[in-house]
Amino acid sequence: MAEVTIKIDGMSCQHCVTAVKKAVDAVDGVSSSNVEVGSAVVSFDESKTNSDAITGAIQAAGYKVVS
C-alpha cells in the first residue's frame, strides 16, 4: 500500500468534501481516503492505480490539484 497527500484548491464546504471523497473512492485500487477542505490523504494499491489517476479523478470532479 502507498499513501499520498494531495492539496486541493476550490473546496469550501462539506459538499465539496463529499464530492471529492466520492470521486477518490471510486478509483479502483483506493483502499481509504481522508478528505478535508483543501486536502486529501489517500491510501491505495500501487498494483491497481497511481497518484495520477487519483488526481485525475479529483480534477474530473471539478477541483484543482495544487502541487
The answer to whether 9 and 30 are in contact (CB under 8 A) is no
Which domain does 14 fall in, by range?
2-66
Q: What is the pLDDT of residue 67?
A: 77
pLDDT in tens for each of the 67 residues of the chain? 999 999 999 999 999 999 999 999 999 999 999 999 999 999 999 999 999 999 999 999 999 999 7
Q: What is the pLDDT of residue 44?
A: 98
Helix then strand count (H, E) for the chain reads: 2, 4
Q: What is the pLDDT of residue 64?
A: 97
Q: What is the pLDDT of residue 58?
A: 98
| Grid cell locating 56 | 485525475
**How many domains is the chain built from?**
1
In CATH, what number is assigned to the domain containing residue 7? 3.30.70.100
Residue position matching grid coordinates 464546504: 13
